[in-house]
Structure 1
Amino acid sequence: MSMFLGTHLNRFDAKGRVSIPAPFRSALRDQAKPQEPLVILRPSHLNPCIEAWTATGFASLAEPLSEYDPFSEDHEDLATSLYADAYPLDSDKEGRIILPDVLRQHADLTDEVAFMGLGRVFQLWNPAAAAERRQQARSRARSLTSKKNAPTGGAQ
């Protein structure tokens, strides 16, 4: 399985297009099925960034919806939060996409975009916010690792 790895910076061109980094485009194309969009973008619920999903990965997000009555408010809230702000996109021949304004505003994107790989998905960030997020994640990961490796107490 192709994974999204690393952080890549790209600039918007004069027409408002930005190139998906070549390694990410390759991974997207490897995972795309015929008649599916190259990528599905949506605003993150947790961070001021844009999440980028393969169509298959995005479909897996909808699986928990089947646990709810399709006529319930819970189902409608989850479906709205998942689908209403999702944008299926294909790139042009050069791998460029145009981000919807609502997504650009959500992530505070102006001139440059940081594409951050997270394994099975990637995110689009304002570069300064991306650097801060990576630092926070490293710090938190060290804390999580320390907790996992800490003695639990009790008799040995």
Structure 2
Amino acid sequence: MTMFLGTHASRVDAKGRISIPSPFRTVLRDNARPGDAMMIIRPSHLHDCLEGWTSSAFFSFSNALDEYDPFSEDHDDLATSLYADAYPLDCDKEGRVNLPKALKEHANLEGEVTFMGLGRVFQIWNPALAEERRKQARSRARELGRHKATSTREGSTS
């Protein structure tokens, strides 16, 4: 599978549609299974943004629910949070999707939007929040790198 890479600007048009960046459409098209929607868009569990998945990646990820008793509260909670707000969507011939109102409200999307590739998924952000997230992620990654380097050095002196 080709990955979602890069950060791309787009916008919500007057009819509420968002153009999916061309490189992301290529990944979605190349990974579409016959009979399935091109993508699944859902609210992020961690951030005020949306997550976009190829339908095949989303459904393979959701197989983790098989680990739970289907009649348990854990299964019900996870299934609700995973599926209840997930929308299967296809692009129109110009590469646009019409996001449900609840998704746009979750991510505060109006006017300009930012797409960020995260490998097997992509995110759709309000641009100001996207920039803040990128700064936060870089800072935390640097700190994690420092911590790992320190741990490795301390472990090798024993």
Tell me if the contact between 2:116 and 2:123 (Cα under 8 Å) persists in the aligned partners: yes
Match of 1:20 in 2: 20
Q: Distance in 2 between matches of 1:31 and 1:110?
A: 28
Q: TM-score, normalised by structure 1?
A: 0.96
Aligned equivalent of 1:152, options 129, 143, 154: 154
Determine if the alignment matches structure 1 residue 128 to structure 2 residue 128.
Answer: yes
What is the percentage of aligned positions where both structures have the same residue? Answer: 64
Alignment RMSD (CA, Å): 1.1
CA drift of 1:56 comes to 1.2
The aligned counterpart of 1:3 is: 3
Post-superposition Cα deviations, 1:83-118, rounded to whole Å, max 9, x if no partner, equal 000000001000000111111011011111100000
* Displacement of 1:61: 2.3
Distance 1:64 1:110 in 2: 34
Q: 2: distance between equivalents of 1:9 and 1:126? A: 10
> Corresponding residue for 1:55?
55
CA shift for structure 1 position 148: 1.1
**Could you tell me which residue of structure 2 aligns to residue 70 of structure 1?**
70
Aligned pairs for 1:97-136 (under 5 A) are 97-136=97-136
Once superposed, which parts of structure 1, at least 4 consecutive aligned residues long, lie more than 6 Å away? none
Instruction: Number of aligned residue pairs: give it.
Output: 156
SS in 1 for 2:34: coil
TM-aligned CA deviation for residue 129 of structure 1 = 0.2
Q: Which runs of 5+ in 1 are unaligned?
A: none
Give 3-state SS (helix, strand or coil) of 1:42's partner: strand
Query: For residue 49 of structure 2, what is the amino acid of its counterpart?
Result: C
Question: For residue 91 of structure 1, what is the aligned residue in structure 2?
Answer: 91
CA distance in 1, matches of 2:145, 2:17: 40
Q: Deviations over 1:61-93 (max 9, x none)?
A: 212211111111111111111100000000100
TM-score (ref. length: structure 2)? 0.95
Q: Is the 8 A contact 2:12 2:109 kept in 1?
A: no
Q: Give the direction of change, closer, same or farther, for the CA distance of 1:143–1:96 in structure 2 (3 Å limit).
A: same
Amino acid at match of 1:28: L
Q: Aligned partners of 1:139, 1:32: CA distance in 2, in Å?
A: 35
